[in-house]
């Protein structure tokens, strides 16, 4: 399987990251090896095998809807790099 540098660039964009050209090259090489390895594991016996997303059966069980103490807003926002009492401040969304 041949991955392209563009695929690595696109994936970095999806992850909201910038890689240097050395990082892109190293990742391209390692990703190709890993893809090749995983493909070598695939055989016809896997065709009807179910997927395992969690090690234990997982069902979304909702507990009773009860009012419980919650985190005060000031504490929840205390780590924000830029905020006022109730809002996070971010730079403008639309590019100039």
Task: Note the residue count of the chain.
Answer: 96
The reply on whether position 73 binds other proteins by CB under 8 A is: no
The reply on whether position 58 binds other proteins by CB under 8 A is: yes
Q: Which residue of 65, 84, 85, 96 would you call a contact of other proteins, by CB under 8 A? A: 96
> CA 54 to CA 68: how far, in whole Å?
29
**Which residue do the tokens 């690595």 mark?**
8
> CA 46 to CA 57: how far, in whole Å?
20
Residue 85 or 91: the one with the smaller Cβ distance to other proteins is: 91
Q: Which residue of 2, 6, 16, 69 would you call a contact of other proteins, by CB under 8 A? A: 16
> CA 28 to CA 36: how far, in whole Å?
12
Q: Which residue of 2, 6, 21, 41 would you call a contact of other proteins, by CB under 8 A? A: 41
Nearest to 5 by CA among 21, 17, 40: 21
Which positions lie near other proteins, rule CB under 8 A?
A: 3, 7-8, 10-12, 14-20, 23, 26-27, 30-31, 34-35, 37-39, 41-42, 46, 49-56, 58, 60-61, 63, 71, 75-82, 88, 90-96
């Amino acid at each position: 399987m041949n991955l392209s540098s563009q695929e690595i660039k696109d994936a970095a964009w999806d992850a909201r990251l910038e890689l240097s050209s050395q990082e892109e090259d190293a990742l391209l090489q390692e990703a190709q090896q890993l893809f090749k390895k995983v493909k070598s594991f695939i055989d016809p016996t896997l065709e009807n095998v179910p997927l395992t997303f969690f090690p234990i059966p997982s069902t979304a069980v909702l507990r009773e809807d009860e009012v419980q103490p919650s985190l005060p807003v000031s504490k929840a926002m205390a780590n924000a790099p830029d905020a006022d009492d109730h809002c996070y401040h971010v730079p403008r969304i639309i590019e100039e």
